[in-house]
Amino acid sequence: MDDQAAGGELAEAQRMLGVRFRDVRLLQQALTHRSLLKDARDVGAANERLEFLGDSVLGQAVAEYLYRKYPTWSEGRLTKVKAAAVSQVALGQAARQLLLGELLHMARGEEQSGGRSRLSILSDSLEAVIGAIFLDRGMHAARRFVLRVLAERLARIEAQQEGEDYKTLLQEQTQERHKTVPSYRVIEASGPEHSKTFVMEVILGDQVLGMGCGRTKKAAEQAAARQALERGEPEA
Torsion of CA 1, 95, 207, 218, to 10 degrees: -170
Q: Which of 2, 3, 42, 55 is catalytic?
A: 55
Q: How many helices (H) and strands (E) does the chain have?
A: 11, 3
Apex 103 CA angle, 97 and 107, nearest 5: 125
Is there a catalytic annotation at residue 111?
Answer: no
Q: How far apart are CA 236 and CA 234, in angstroms?
A: 6
Q: Which of 48, 64, 75, 127 is catalytic?
A: 127
Segment (H or E) for 147: helix 139-149
Q: How far apart are CA 37 and CA 41, in angstroms?
A: 9
Is there a catalytic annotation at residue 55?
Answer: yes
Q: How far apart are CA 143 and CA 6, in angstroms?
A: 27
Active site residues: 55, 127
